[in-house]
Amino acid sequence: MAQIELRNVSKRWGSFVGVDDFNLTIADKEFLVLLGPSGCGKTTTMRMIAGLEDVTDGDILVDGKRVNDLEPKDRDVSMVFQSYALYPNMNVYENIRFPLKVRGIDPKTHDEKVRRASRMVELDDFLHRKPAELSGGQRQRVALARAIVREPNVFLMDEPLSNLDAKLRVSTRAQIKNLSHELAVTTIYVTHDQIEAMTLADRVVVMKGGVVQQVGSPTEIYDRPANAFVASFIGSPAMNLMEGQVSGGVFSAAHVEIRGLNAPDGPLTLGFRAEDAALAPQGSGQITAPIYTLELLGDATMISVRVGDALVSVKADKSYRAEIGDMVSFSIPNEICHLFNAKDGARLGD
């Protein structure tokens, strides 16, 4: 069992705040993803949990025990790094075995543990090879096996897929998902890739500038983003955001008029997702504008228009054909609209 609590945890270097007043309880066996852009504090948070960074303020507890002052080796966590961190002079078998030797585990159990970990990540045919003889995906699997072999209470994964090409990212992501189900170990996973977060996580913590913006299941964060930043960060494509004015329940911006909104008069940021809107008969939609670009995605066609300084996209059928510059209308029903405060980006309404 490994329940992790972060209580008012902060990290500062002089006047620079890396993580500010982080509070969270991570349940036993939960797969939690820390998500955000570079510099948001997600890796620093993970490193504090691992003991690789000192906590400036606050407490970190594992199963109710304060671990702030424990050395990394005493925290019973296993970390998978972005850089793989393999020993080039050792073959795959010895790389996987290394944590067992360091921790003084009974040598009689090593072979069974190494081969079990190897089997779980499909490395049995590569145990004799050196890291230089492996592909990037194979090296990452060695790093995963080396973490598994220790049988820790907590897995920490710091952007483990970022060095892989797109196809390998998909297959390795599936492997991590399956492993987390099979091992049932508390896992904290750091990424800037929202697709990884959405597909892997039980819960997602979205961070910006060292501050938690929202915590929730992937569905909750996707359907009800807490603010415009979360809305812009989650989804592929990200949520369309348009700045405009509301007067008498009517939202107006360049090429846009949406009526019947329950919103106060004044500046407003209105958002909607590309897949929730639809094409409308010419001139009859809430947005009518010339096509800025068309992207054929295979299963759909993405149509984009300009609304002020923003590009606004809508998914159409894969058979849709038009030319750049042609006029197009989009239907934006009120029920798909998300409303955000124009000043601080906070979500408005229920």
- Same domain membership, residue 332 and residue 286: yes
The answer to whether residue 74 scores a pLDDT higher than 70 is yes
Query: Is residue 346 in a domain?
Result: no
pLDDT of residue 79: 86
> Which tens digits make up the pLDDT trace of 173-197?
888 888 888 888 999 999 999 999 9
What average pLDDT does the structure give for the chain? 92
- In this structure, the answer to whether residues 9 and 147 fall within a common structural domain is yes
Measured distance CA(83)–CA(163) in Å, rounded: 8
Q: Identify whether 236 is part of a domain.
A: no
141 and 39 share one domain:
yes
Identify the CATH number of the domain in which residue 313 sits.
Answer: 2.40.50.140
Distance separating alpha carbons of residues 142 and 91, to the nearest angstrom: 10
124-175 pLDDT tens trace: 989 999 998 998 888 888 988 888 888 888 999 998 888 778 787 888 888 8
Rounded Cα gap, residues 123 and 93, in angstroms: 9
On whether both 289 and 259 belong to a single domain, the answer is yes
Q: pLDDT tens, 4-61?
A: 999 999 999 999 999 999 999 999 999 999 999 999 999 999 999 999 999 999 999 9
- Does any domain span residue 81? yes
Which domain does 289 fall in, by range?
241-341
**pLDDT grade for 1, boundaries at 50, 70 and 90:** low
Mean pLDDT of 270-299: 94
The span from the CA of 97 to the CA of 240, in Å, is 49
- Start-to-end CA distance of the chain, whole Å, equals 37
Q: Sheet containing 77-80: give its strands across.
A: 77-80, 154-158, 186-191, 31-35, 203-208, 211-216
Domain boundary, last residue among 170, 203, 229: 229
| Same-domain check for residues 40 and 187 | yes
Tokens of 191: 């990424």
Number of domains forming the structure of the chain: 2
* Whole-prediction pTM: 0.90
Based on the domain organization, do 217 and 282 belong to the same domain? Answer: no
Among the candidates 229, 264, 296, a domain finishes at: 229
Is residue 159 in a domain?
A: yes
- Whether residues 201 and 266 share a domain: the answer is no
- When mean pLDDT is compared across 82-96, 191-205, 229-243, 278-292, the lowest value belongs to 82-96
Domain of 147, CATH number, reads 3.40.50.300
Band of residue 350 on the pLDDT scale cut at 50, 70, 90: low
DSSP 38-82: TTSSHHHHHHHHHTSS--SEEEEEETTEE-TTS-GGGTTEEEE-T
One-character DSSP codes across 18-43: EEEEEEEEE-TT-EEEEE-STTSSHH
Residue 65 predicted with pLDDT over 70: yes
Residues in a beta bridge with 246: 251, 266
Identify whether residues 290 and 177 lie together within a single domain: no
pLDDT tens-digit profile of 198-229?
A: 999 999 999 999 999 999 999 999 999 999 99
Residue 221 and residue 320 share a domain: no
Count other Cβ atoms within 10 Å, centred on residue 262: 11
